Structure 1
């Protein structure tokens, strides 16, 4: 059977169109598969913030970090807690802030459960934008609004987020609570920061400095030169004393220091590591 010119043209168009569809990576059905994988990766990552998984990842039990963290590295920030340009800092803060430290009673800010309120997907990169509510051990709640970047294997490589109203939720309400924060800092420093890592000659000197030389501050300014910043870093000292002991000391270790607003605008793109869909 012979085909007319127009019939041949129609057949050629259909074949070309079908071939393009086969090669085009972002058809609706492919997008849905990508978004499904992004949802699963995000939910699995948030679940890893719960005990005991968070501790296992923090200490890399049985090389478990390789299941969650990209081999290309990790960086991120969570305001107003801090900015973390290296893998060891980004990993330590991501898990250390919310996970009970081994051999120490559970931190008051450890997460007991979470609610994933909403999730949105970037159209071009493996990035999710999430809002989740963390239920803390103290029966308080914190809302996190965070963008999360994944590599080609859907493993975490970057994050950039904020906490809603941390000061209103966590700030000391009484002088007694203020003193508890100071005593915690000094007890942790005296126990873990020994030898060349020592920051104060004794506990009394530590308490005197924290009471008279720097302000109490607020969890709304938890990366500034105040007592609250140093208290936050007591979560990390037991796991990484060589990195964080100086954060408790008089200098603030270059971390618990006052920063200008320009500091926050002059940071790298923590989501640039995300793989293209």
Structure 2
């Protein structure tokens, strides 16, 4: 939606702000999401109702934190009803999160909402809710998490997902064979167990999985070719891996005349089209 300014609108009760909402909003912004959140999006003198309506209109998704306090207040319910009216057809905009509530309590509030899949955040680190919101609202950015982790460009600990993985359906055998090549090719610069590697790809939404495998195949292929062609030592191999990862995240490989030959060769190799003959 080109008219939107925010990825996410957080609808919540003020009683939950200190313990859950504030750290959740911080993690979401660290993950690169544009968040409408009253502490950051309202200024002195703003009309509260007008600002909330504008935030709802300008957000791709509404993250509703369903808690006992939320379910008992009229103002959060107003936000929910407003979000509900903005949903059209198959366009999902409401992302429900259960926080110290169960299905029976949500059912009394809204049978429609109780019938939706919700992330249960009760007793969990707010970071896990942030990861799940990113997975749904910005799946491409979520797929990049593994690469950002490999490039040490992640401001939040990806290891948090290890204890509470949100996994999609199993990978196909052809996909597993390709992932095995990637893992073996990069083992000396990015050592991971087989289970860790498979889990990282299973976290991606199915529609983004194939593209992410292709990105890693390009990284692995160029890494093998350049490191062998120039007989790179360990430090240069590590540097090569990092610049390839950074290129996939938007930081192009430097290829000016002042760069080492192997770096310029890596840039040319990574951007080339393989001959089909």
| TM bucket, shorter chain | under 0.3
Q: Relative contact order (C-alpha < 8 Å, sep 6+): which is higher?
A: 1
Structure with more of its chain in strand, by fraction: 1
Question: TM-score of the superposition, structure 1-length normalised?
Answer: 0.22
Structure with more of its chain in helix, by fraction: 2
Report the structure number with the largest CA radius of gyration.
1
Question: TM-score of the superposition, structure 2-length normalised?
Answer: 0.22
